[in-house]
Structure 1
Amino acid sequence: MSDETWHNAALALKLLEIDPVGLGGAVVRMAASPARDALLAEFQPGPPLRKLPVNISDEQLFGGIDLSATLASSEVIENIGFFDKPYMAVIPMAERCPVALAAKLATLANQGLTQGFLAIDEGIEADERTPDVLAERLAFHISPQGRAPTVPAGTAPTGERVNRDDALTQLTLIAARFGISSLRAPTLAHRAAQAHASLMGRDHLTESDIAAAATLVFPHRATRVPEAEQAAQDDTPPPPPEVDETEGQGRDQDLSLPDTDMLIAAVKSLLPEGLLTGLVPAGTSRQAGGAGAGQKRKSNRRGRPLPSRPGRFDGTTRIDLIATLRTAAPWQPLRRQQTPDRPGLLFRPSDIRLKRYQEQSDRLLIFCVDASGSAAVSRLGEAKGAIELLLGEAYASRDQVALISFRGDAAEVLLPPTRSLVQTKRRLSALPGGGGTPLAAGLQSALVLALQSRTRGMTPTVILITDGRANIALDGSANRAQAGEDATRIAHALRASDISGLVIDMSNRPQPALAELSQTLAAPYVPLPRADAHRLTGAVHAALDG
């Protein structure tokens, strides 16, 4: 599968070299690496490549008056626009491209003023991606998995010849099966099929061209997985359609459509990971709720650029020079009349515009696991499997995982915040079980760890996995009533500290006490009797991302 994604990536770039304008371009979603450099080094389109920064101004993009040069020379000096010359735009850090800029680029593309785009997307989280308004106009989404293969891909069989109208019909039907409502997708796929035929040295389309185009253009646009065709409920076979003997006399009788089921299976095999668990139609953005992602914080030094704001320069902030000049420019004639003897530009404190950025903190999942009682062995096995599954995804989502175990009369931090899969497996393998249920002690340890992680810039979420039978108080005494009161008091402290949480009830029957505790925590309550690691992981994702 990984080899196939690399072969498809190289093929997409080859097709883009042939028809950069008709295909629109490609989104290359890869982190900076030698593999990405090697992949893009072989890309040689017809138009020369030129970087288009995501902070480009309207004057640089469309052309217009050069404000600084005009004010300095007292003559109107104009800039040429970015696309006044036939360049193919390379957009580095396309995941940071403002939606307003993406809309302007899409408008230029619709007007036929561009030569294609190569959007280099280094986003990690799901919401860090090239804006949909631009990505929809680019035929390909290149995101190869694993290591680059050393053996070149073999040549696919040619198949039978397909005429243009039948190819468009076939591609449109396949797009509809995958929930792709935009007609731009089959149109781009048809251009890709034509480019593939040209790459193979043919002047007509064949089944292999249609298959290659469908697997390159449709998977990342799919919004649903097509189900198998249902058998007709009526046992009586439908009558054969009437055929007009005169129809198709002027058409080549040897032309045929490729196998729809085979094409759908090929596209389905390349659907992006996670499509089955949370489908989001193209053109919409899924907002992470509550604890679904790290908190966004305003910053004046690093992060995603935000619109500048008025303010006073105090040495700790950065001035947005372009925005400041743009604010001061309309007032220059009036100020020049008031102070004709002062040379240069005339600024006022109200003209100053300061740069702003927004950075997103890492999310920390604190698993607080009940390791007491006779059911500890199965419960701990489920927790171990769930933590390993979640940690496998932490490398892509920047999440960190911590593990707290409570049993006997105390709680213990078995695993401090980490992304290390090796260290986690080592600690999990030695996770003990048995004894009483000091629920309050577990919540208290989770509260301390959450507050400590917050001071290091992380966003903590406490995931409590227990059967709810608290019987050990904070002082270590076996007092069930006091243990319940202590747990409620710590839950109030967690809520007052604005720490999000999730309560998973692993008992055979839902426990009302745990439902009340989840209300105190203002956290979702998920009863999961007899849950395995996959169900537990799915419940965590549903609660945190829902």
Structure 2
Amino acid sequence: MSASPDATWLQACRAAALLALDPAGTGVVLRARPGPVREAWLDRLRALLPASAPVTRLPAGIADDALLGGLDLPATLRTGRPVAQAGLLARSDGGVVLVPMAERLAPGTAARIAQGLDAGAVEVARDGVATRCPARFGLVLLDEGEGDDEAVPAGLADRIALHLDLDAVPVGALTAALPLRDLAAARAADPDTPPDASETLCALATRLGIASLRAPLLALRVARLHAALEGRAAVGEADLAAAAALVLAPRARAWPQEEEQDERTGEDAPPADEAEGDDNRHEGRQEGEDRLLAAVEASLPPGLLARLLAGDGPRIRSAGAGRAGAVAAAPRGRPVGARPGDPRRGRLALIETLRAAAPWQRLRRGDGEARLRITADDLRIRRLVQRRETTTIFAVDASGSAALERLAEAKGAVEQLLAECYVRRDRVALVAFRGRGADLLLVPTRSLVRAKRALAALPGGGGTPLACGIEAAARLAATERRGGRSPVVLLLTDGRANIDRAGRPGRAQAGADALAAARALAAEGTRALVIDTAARPQDSARALAAAMRARYLALPQADAARLARAVREAAPAA
């Protein structure tokens, strides 16, 4: 059983009311694409928030001084002394911060927002100012990611109580909306909490395979808010059920297969009357957990229960972990700050220059002097970078020699490398060469499932057209480079070529063609890694790595950790 679209929308409306009651204590991860459903939910949230609560949209690529605060340059120049200016988080105190495309949030920005959520304040100590501003804000993370390999940063998602998925809600379901409520009385309420409520939620989280310690705490907070919303003086089972559906259900990683038994280990048996009382309390608590579990089941998205029962629950996605692409200093690109320097060797950062000079004006100016005095030490130039995605191209030797000896082991190594690329959010592609040529089995993609499926279907046997495989990888690398991405080639082979570039057999010509293709790849500046898949390290593979200017790694000596480290080192530096 799973939630219908109408029920999902009603649950989302209830979540909007709970968020409006306590923005800083809840927050929402809203998975929904731009459209009328998402806008209807956001409009409903704005209508429920107090008139004094600001709703601020986080700009993409926001700088630290705009996010956290810093020097108020006009006021500093006017007064001749450092004057602090509040950042976006401090200005959002008591309100809500909307984060569009939260799956693309920079790791540093996500970390600073998480710190603000934990502390309820923002501290700034730079540019001659030192301030601490209250910043108790609610966070609405708009997740517009495609598939499981794009998601909001895990550190923020874990701190957010309510997780909603409105992708399957049609526009027609909006007519089933709950009536808007006056939440003033609910904000002033303080419902009592039963002593065993936290224990029940913790036990339910354990049964659902939820490892986060924040989840049951957030669920308890939501249960209290739900009781206040319904006008109850104490938290009841209906409130716990609503909290379990909104907080625990989206985080479920498993589903109980059978009833758990309460076993006493290492304890003396209590007296009979105490044991009977404990049994009754345990049975009552177990029945309560089962009813909450039924509420969770009714709120699961379609198809999720079947995956949980099969042990294939939602992946714990860690967007933003590792490098998201190569970052190169460039004369053009996105500004990422400023540094001291000569404007003749870069672009003058005027605001940063004035900010550096402003605190010293009172000391530099003479009596009655109004002009601004700037020294060479104040000059700042812009730091510009161009961030590019990384595409990891796997070129796999599927020839007869590799198939007979190490193709199975090579596939296992590639799976480990694919997982490493997935963590870094690289695009991956798969080129296989065998017989008389090379085939592109997988175009560049971020889908780990598609990559593993293409790898599993990789056939083996035939000759070793090594030059064709390297040239196919080089052509794909050139295409990715033209698209603004940074390619890196991972070549898995024993290096023993026996088919030349024209498809004719012959080891001498095939080896020469392979070395020529390797040198051409190196001349293009493509980073590469050669993994020797032979049972024993081969001189031919070493020579190929040298011609390619690539690192050489022998598969028999490469464990998973060493392979992952080698891929990170071969990838363009972030």
TM-score normalised according to structure 1 size = 0.64
Query: Are 1:446 and 2:473 counterparts?
Result: yes
Aligned residue identity for 1:332: Q
* 1:2-401 matches, cutoff 5 A: 3=5, 9-21=12-24, 23-28=25-30, 32-43=34-45, 44-46=48-50, 47-51=52-56, 53=58, 55=62, 66-72=72-78, 87-93=94-100, 95-96=105-106, 97=109, 99-100=111-112, 102-108=114-120, 113-121=134-142, 129-130=152-153, 132=155, 136-142=158-164, 144-146=166-168, 148=170, 150-151=172-173, 164-176=194-206, 178=209, 180=211, 182=213, 184-200=214-230, 202-218=232-248, 242-244=272-274, 258-259=288-289, 263=293, 266=297, 269=304, 286-287=321-322, 293-298=324-329, 302-303=333-334, 306-313=336-343, 317=347, 319=349, 321=351, 323-337=352-366, 343-356=370-383, 358-366=385-393, 368=395
CA distance in 2, matches of 1:80, 1:437: 64
Stretch of structure 1 that moved more, 264-273 or 464-473: 264-273
Q: Secondary structure at the match of 1:297?
A: strand
C-alpha contact (below 8 Å) 2:346/2:381 kept by paired residues: no
**1:195 CA displacement:** 2.6
Q: Answer whether contact 1:368 1:465 (CA < 8 A) is retained.
A: yes
Question: How many angstroms does 1:206 deviate by?
Answer: 3.9
Structure 2 unaligned residues grouped into runs of 5+: 123-131, 179-191, 557-562, 570-574
Q: Distance in 2 between matches of 1:85 and 1:490?
A: 58
User: Residue type of the partner of 1:192?
Assistant: V
Aligned residue in 2 for 1:535: none
Query: Deviation at 1:468?
Result: 7.8
Match of 2:127 in 1: none
Q: Give the aligned partner of residue 530 of structure 1.
A: none
Distance 1:445 1:219 in 2: 46
Counterparts of 1:28 and 1:143, CA distance in 2: 6
Shift of 1:90: 1.4
Assess, with a 3 A threshold, how the Cα gap between structure 1 residues 102 and 542 changes in structure 2: closer, same or farther: same
Kindly state the Cα deviation for residue 12 of structure 1 after the two structures are TM-superposed: 2.6
1:366-391 Cα deviation digits (max 9, x unpaired):
45466877999xx9xxx9xx99xx9x
Structure 1 portions without partners, runs of 5+ = 156-161, 528-539
Change (3 A) 1:192 1:310: same
| Displacement of 1:332 | 0.6
Shift of 1:331: 1.6
Are the aligned partners of 1:404 and 1:445 in contact in 2 as well (CA < 8 Å)? yes
Mark the CA change 1:297 to 1:449 in structure 2 (over 3 Å): closer, same or farther: same
What SS is found at the alignment partner of 2:365?
helix
The 1:434/1:219 distance shift into structure 2, 3 A limit, reads: same
CA positional deviation for 1:190: 0.8
CA distance in 1, matches of 2:313, 2:553: 24
Bigger fraction of residues in helix: 2
SS in 2 for 1:205: coil
Q: Secondary structure at the match of 1:20?
A: coil
Amino acid of the residue matched to residue 361 of structure 1? R
1:288-321 CA deviation, whole Å, 9 max, x = no partner?
Answer: 5xxxx53233457555x63432234459746262
Structure 1 residue 166 displacement after superposition = 1.6
CA contact (8 A) 1:438 1:471 kept: yes
TM-score (norm 2): 0.62
2: CA distance, partners of 1:261 / 1:191:
19
Deviation track 1:387-409 (CA, whole Å, cap 9, x = no partner) reads 9xx9xx99x99865656564554
State how far apart, in whole Å, the 1-side matches of 2:468 and 2:402 are. Answer: 19
Residues 59-108 of structure 1 deviation map (CA, whole Å, 9 limit, x = unaligned):
9967x985423533679988678757964031435624263454245322
Contact 1:121–1:130 (CA<8 Å) still a contact in 2?
no
CA distance in 1, matches of 2:71, 2:389: 43
Shift of 1:227: 8.7
* Mapped partners of 1:515, 1:146: distance in 2: 57
User: Equivalent pairs: percent with the same residue?
Assistant: 33
Counterpart secondary structure, 2:288:
coil
Q: Would the alpha carbon gap of residues 366 and 227 (structure 1) be closer, same or farther in structure 2, given more than 3 Å must change? A: farther
Q: What per-residue deviation string (whole Å, max 9, x for no partner) do you get for residues 149-193 of structure 1?
A: 6447899xxxxxx962221111223445645453x4322211211
CA distance in 1, matches of 2:246, 2:354: 45
- CA shift for structure 1 position 216: 2.8
C-alpha spacing 1:361/1:326, structure 2 compared with 1 (3 Å)? same
Residue 487 of structure 1 deviates from its aligned partner by: 4.1
Change (3 A) 1:411 1:139: closer
Instruction: Give 1:147 deviation, angstroms.
Output: 5.5
The residue type paired with residue 499 of structure 1 is R
Corresponding residue of 1:158 = none
Contact 1:363–1:399 (Cα < 8 Å) also in 2: yes
> Larger RCO: Structure 1 or Structure 2 (Cα < 8 Å, ≥ 6 residues apart)?
2
Aligned-partner SS, 2:120: helix
State the AA in 1 paired with 2:470: L
Question: How many Å separate the matches in 2 of 1:310 and 1:193?
Answer: 53
Distance 1:213 1:89, change over 3 A: same
Alignment check: 8 A CA contact 1:300 1:318 kept: no
Q: 2:527 aligns with which of 494, 499, 502?
A: 499
Contact in 2 for aligned 1:332/1:345 (Cα 8 Å):
yes
Retained in 1: the 8 A contact 2:392–2:487?
Answer: yes
User: For 1:206-255, what per-residue CA distance to the aligned partner results, in whole angstroms no more than 9, with x for missing partners?
Assistant: 44432332343346767999897888999xxx97874439979xx9x988
The residue that corresponds to 1:531 in the other structure is none
Paired amino acid for 1:19 = D
Q: In angstroms, what is the RMSD of aligned CA positions?
A: 6.2
How many residue pairs get aligned? The number is 494
Instruction: Give the residue type in structure 2 aligned to 1:12.
Output: A
